[in-house]
């Protein structure tokens, strides 16, 4: 764990929002032929790379390839970020950035990502003007909603001693499962069955809570890869059971982080409202079809759009139908997130001193989670009663909804793991590369960044930014980072 002091002040929070210039992210242009041709005119003599999808993987691939390629980054939405979906929310008369998607990271689970933040200046406690990283306690409550009581509360472990002991043991099983390099094809159900813990803890608390962490129902969670889930957080559990866990966030949201990373690129044109609908290859060069027309030529393309979209492009080309059938193996579930100021997800609604950063409410065997944003952004104004909650299958929505997002979430089953392994065999085929979390078997900023690094090592092997990241990892004592399945 990195013990650097982090800035947590509201001043920085507001500064972060101001740095992003209001509600929308900047420096991207809606795709049109006129704009694209003007941009291409300046770069027509260089090597041309198209990157499709501006999530963490696409942005990182752009940043890492920037020094050697002229890059067009195509994004179907009106803004960059993908699942790094940072939104501006008005609360108590002020605007703040919050994440309606990925939010948390930690040096032990995200060493590459944290090194990237250091490299671009977003994590630098010595430079307050730039640093946007915020450290918060990693507290957790699990609540029985029908009984209106806590069954576990990490701020008050003495309330439920038996559950707390089981929880402590679980954290060490989870850590060791990763450290032992366990098989990604073991399902969550199989792993939980194997644990020497009480049946009540395993099936009435742990399983529903972990389904909430992924954002799906219990039946879906049982079939998910245990390694894939645990990889996202288990190494952040302290080895010493008495030590408190922490987590990191960004004052400008993880989407804000991506915008800062893109702003450091010199040779990247970011095109929004630029959904790719098909691919063509003519005389060794690639062309991208979009609603605004066909764009190209490109020497190489990086596909960072989720497989559920990309599979259609490959099924229409005679020489890529095998790729299409691999991409067809990835599965998703629907999920919905809200930001709201109603403590409806909590028990003890009048006792915010018991609220934890993550709160899991179990009812009828299913569980939905709620992040108490006031527990992270401790300088929020008012009573800090602000939440980010999963609301996919909830009977009643909370009141005072300030922002909302419905999306498809990867469902990483053993089938998806096998597809991730297979897609790697096609890297570079006919000038097509794949980056994004789906190539890694886990759903994490770290994974998407790693996937981009792997592609960039081939497309831009002498990238000074790759060298810089390696140097930073080595300073952290990490000489070989490997998430290959």
Binding stretches for ligand FAD (CB under 6 A):
52-58, 74-77, 82-84, 101-105, 215, 275-276, 304-306, 309, 337, 409, 436-437, 443-445, 447-448
Shortest Å distance, C-beta 85 to ligand FAD: 8
Q: Is the peptide bond before 360 cis (omega within 30 degrees of 0)?
A: no
Q: Does residue 258 contact residue 245 with C-beta atoms inside 8 Å?
A: no
Q: In the complex with ligand FAD, which residue's Cβ is closer, 17 or 84?
A: 84
Q: In the complex with ligand FAD, which residue's Cβ is closer, 131 or 443?
A: 443
- The set of residues, in sequence order, having a beta carbon less than 8 Å from that of 67 and lying 6+ positions away, is 267, 460, 463, 464, 465
Q: In the complex with ligand FAD, which residue's Cβ is closer, 119 or 443?
A: 443
Shortest Å distance, C-beta 42 to ligand FAD: 23
Shortest Å distance, C-beta 410 to ligand FAD: 8
Q: Does residue 390 contact residue 214 with C-beta atoms inside 8 Å?
A: no
Beta bridge mates, 406: 336
Shortest Å distance, C-beta 145 to ligand FAD: 21
Q: Does residue 288 contact residue 296 with C-beta atoms inside 8 Å?
A: yes
CA 227, CA 86: separation in Å to the nearest integer?
27
Q: In the complex with ligand FAD, which residue's Cβ is closer, 166 or 250?
A: 250
Q: Which of 400, 383, 358, 65 is nearest to 232 (CA)?
A: 358
Q: In the complex with ligand FAD, which residue's Cβ is closer, 77 or 363?
A: 77
Shortest Å distance, C-beta 117 to ligand FAD: 12
Evaluate the CA torsion angle 144, 219, 231, 7 in order and state its sign: negative
Q: In the complex with ligand FAD, which residue's Cβ is closer, 156 or 392?
A: 392
Q: In the complex with ligand FAD, which residue's Cβ is closer, 27 or 127?
A: 27
Shortest Å distance, C-beta 284 to ligand FAD: 23
CA 150, CA 234: separation in Å to the nearest integer?
23
Give the number of other CB atoms < 10 A from CB of residue 18: 11
Give the number of other CB atoms < 10 A from CB of residue 128: 12
Classify residue 394 by burial, with Cβ atoms within 10 Å: 0-12, 13-18, 19+.
middle
Shortest Å distance, C-beta 146 to ligand FAD: 26
Q: In the complex with ligand FAD, which residue's Cβ is closer, 83 or 472?
A: 83
Q: How far is CA 156 from the centre of its chain?
A: 30
- The set of residues, in sequence order, having a beta carbon less than 8 Å from that of 286 and lying 6+ positions away, is 50, 279, 280, 296, 297, 298, 299, 300, 301, 431, 432
Shortest Å distance, C-beta 149 to ligand FAD: 27
CA 238, CA 168: separation in Å to the nearest integer?
10
Alpha-carbon distances, residue 110 vs 120, 378, 420, 445, 476 (angstroms): 15, 23, 20, 7, 12
Shortest Å distance, C-beta 56 to ligand FAD: 4
CA 211, CA 207: separation in Å to the nearest integer?
6
Q: Which of 45, 70, 73, 48 is nearest to 59 (CA)?
A: 73
Shortest Å distance, C-beta 373 to ligand FAD: 13
CA 356, CA 244: separation in Å to the nearest integer?
13
Q: Where are the alpha helices (DSSP H) in 238-293?
A: 253-263
Q: In the complex with ligand FAD, which residue's Cβ is closer, 420 or 460?
A: 420
Q: In the complex with ligand FAD, which residue's Cβ is closer, 163 or 251?
A: 251
Classify residue 108 by burial, with Cβ atoms within 10 Å: 0-12, 13-18, 19+.
middle
Q: In the complex with ligand FAD, which residue's Cβ is closer, 279 or 362?
A: 279
Shortest Å distance, C-beta 348 to ligand FAD: 25
């Amino acid at each position: 764990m990195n013990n650097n002091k982090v800035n947590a002040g509201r001043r920085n929070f507001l500064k972060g929002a101001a740095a992003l210039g209001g509600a929308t992210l900047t420096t991207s242009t809606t795709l049109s032929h006129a704009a694209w041709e003007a941009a291409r005119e300046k770069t027509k003599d260089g090597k041309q790379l198209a990157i499709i999808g501006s999530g963490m993987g696409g942005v990182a691939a752009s940043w890492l390839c920037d020094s050697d390629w002229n890059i067009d980054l195509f994004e179907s939405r009106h803004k960059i970020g993908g699942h790094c979906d940072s939104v501006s929310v008005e609360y108590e008369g002020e605007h703040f950035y919050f994440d309606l998607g990925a939010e948390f990271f930690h040096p032990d689970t995200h060493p590459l990502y944290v090194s990237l933040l250091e490299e671009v200046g977003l994590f630098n406690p010595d430079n307050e003007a730039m640093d946007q990283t915020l450290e918060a306690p990693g507290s957790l409550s699990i609540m029985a909603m029908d009984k209106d009581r806590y069954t576990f509360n990490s701020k008050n472990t003495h309330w439920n001693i038996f559950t707390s002991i089981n929880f402590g043991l679980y954290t060490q099983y989870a850590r060791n499962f990763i450290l032992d390099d366990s098989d990604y094809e073991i399902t969550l159900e199989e792993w939980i069955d194997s644990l020497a813990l009480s049946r009540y803890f395993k099936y009435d608390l742990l399983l529903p809570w972990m389904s909430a962490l992924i954002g799906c129902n219990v039946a879906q969670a049982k079939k998910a890869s245990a390694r894939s889930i645990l990889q996202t957080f288990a190494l952040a559990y302290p080895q010493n059971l008495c030590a408190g866990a922490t987590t990191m966030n960004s004052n400008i949201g993880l989407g804000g982080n991506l915008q800062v990373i893109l702003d450091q690129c010199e040779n990247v044109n970011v095109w929004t409202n630029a959904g790719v609908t098909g691919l063509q290859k003519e005389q060794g060069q690639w062309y991208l079809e979009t609603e605004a027309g066909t764009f190209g030529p490109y020497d190489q393309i990086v596909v960072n759009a989720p497989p559920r979209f990309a599979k259609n492009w490959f099924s229409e080309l005679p020489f890529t139908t095998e790729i299409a059938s691999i991409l067809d193996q990835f599965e998703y579930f629907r999920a919905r997130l809200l930001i709201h100021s109603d403590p409806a997800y909590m028990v003890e609604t009048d006792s915010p001193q018991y609220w934890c950063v993550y709160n899991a409410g179990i009812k009828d065997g299913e569980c939905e989670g709620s992040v108490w944003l006031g527990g992270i952004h401790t300088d929020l104004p008012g009573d800090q009663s602000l939440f980010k909650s999963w609301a996919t299958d909830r009977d009643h929505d909370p009141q005072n909804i300030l922002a909302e997002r419905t999306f498809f979430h990867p469902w990483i089953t053993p089938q998806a793991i096998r597809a991730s392994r297979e897609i790697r065999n096609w890297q570079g085929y006919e000038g097509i590369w794949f980056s994004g979390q789906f190539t890694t078997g886990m759903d994490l900023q770290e994974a998407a960044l790693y996937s981009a690094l792997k592609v960039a090592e081939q497309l831009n092997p002498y990238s000074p930014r790759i060298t810089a990241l390696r140097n930073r990892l080595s300073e952290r004592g990490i000489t070989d980072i490997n998430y290959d399945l």
